[in-house]
Amino acid sequence: MAPMPETSMMRVDAAGEPLRLLAVHAHPDDESSKGAATTAKYVAQGVQVLVATCTGGERGSILNPRMDTPENWANMTTLRNAEMARAKTILGIEQTWLGFVDSGLPEGDPLPPLPEGCFGLMDPDEAAGPLVKVIREFRPHVLTTYDENGGYPHPDHIMCHKISMAAVDAAGDPDAWPEHGPAWQVQKVYYHMNFHRGRLAKLDELMHAQGLESPYAEWLQNWERDDVTARLTTFVPCGEYFPLRDHALRAHATQIDPDGFWFAVPMAIQQAGWPTEDYQLAKSMVPVTLPEDDLFAGIDTRTPVTLDTWSYSI
């Protein structure tokens, strides 16, 4: 079930238009594993939320044993399209495809080259074009994407970061991509930062306090990746939407084992231990006071107006 409006009103900007959030993701399922509770919360407040998915996830693996069949491997593109359609309905968002081809995740030593023509090998300035078009047509106040490391070093996630930042700059430049319509300046850009040591350590502590086995114990003991906890600027309270987030995540049935790692921490512990989704403010055209609890903080708004339905297509 999609989130229902908390009131009969919607949040609007200084011109009386609904606030708009554009979330740029590398693959179908990323919108449900990164920031989904945040987007569900904003949908419930009448904010218009659009997800731009860079690739179709064509080279993804089947990570759910129940779905691991030759037929499903042969129909990966169709399956992932259908999964995305279910997830967007659950979250109450709109979604568009940017049309790039999944790079896969090369493994080995040495790493094999990426497949020719894949998203990870694109020229970021050229690949930004379709996203510039989406930005100028949707006119988001806020855009979310990944940091310079992609959140984790998947080539598509890193390229998602690169084209997001290039598109934000180009969309605000009337001389760039004039064929994509009038310039639009995104007012705030955020990086998803929910996977950080601070959060995992807190949940690990609470699991042990309840006498439960923590799925994070080994990770925390062998933590080698850069910890982004110190980079956090924005903490969006959205614990009540965690169940909806998980419902959307399960919709990506080829990618998510319903009995697996993602659901190992009881919901009550998640909501009590770390009831926010966390971000780094990467760019702002408006004055801000940190830390924040709202992605739209600092943006000039007016009295809410009656909530209407909306749609978007590209």
Model confidence at 261: pLDDT above 70:
yes
- Residues contacting 159, CB < 8 A, separation 6+: 26, 54, 103, 119, 120, 122, 124, 127, 150
Model confidence at 115: pLDDT above 60:
yes
Model pLDDT, residue 313: 33
Inter-residue contact 62 to 29 (CB < 8 Å): no
Enter the tokens of residue 248: 């959307």
The pTM of this model reads 0.92
Model confidence at 305: pLDDT above 70:
no
HEC-encoded secondary structure of 183-240: CCCCCEEEEECCCCHHHHHHHHHHHHHCCCCCCCHHHHHCCCCCCCHHHCCEEEECHH
Helix (H, G, I), strand (E, B) or coil at 275: coil
55: β partners: 100
- Reported confidence tier of residue 4, pLDDT bands at 50, 70, 90: low
Annotated binding site for Zn(2+): 27, 30, 157
Inter-residue contact 91 to 127 (CB < 8 Å): no
Mean confidence (pLDDT) of the chain: 92
- Reported confidence tier of residue 310, pLDDT bands at 50, 70, 90: very low
Instruction: Please state the rounded mean pLDDT for residues 51-56.
Output: 98
Give the domain 9-196+232-265+277-306 fold: Rossmann fold (3.40.50)
* Distance separating alpha carbons of residues 73 and 4, to the nearest angstrom: 35
Q: Cis ω on the peptide bond leading into residue 182 (within 30° of 0)?
A: no
Model confidence at 170: pLDDT above 90:
yes
- Reported confidence tier of residue 19, pLDDT bands at 50, 70, 90: very high
Helix (H, G, I), strand (E, B) or coil at 52: strand
* Measured torsion, CA atoms of residues 267, 30, 159, 192, in degrees rounded to the nearest 10: -30
Model pLDDT, residue 30: 96
Model confidence at 311: pLDDT above 50:
no
Instruction: Please state the rounded mean pLDDT for residues 211-219.
Output: 91
Annotated binding site: 27, 30, 157
Domain range annotation of the chain: 9-196+232-265+277-306
Model pLDDT, residue 314: 32
Instruction: Please state the rounded mean pLDDT for residues 239-262.
Output: 94
7 alpha carbon, distance to own chain's centre:
25
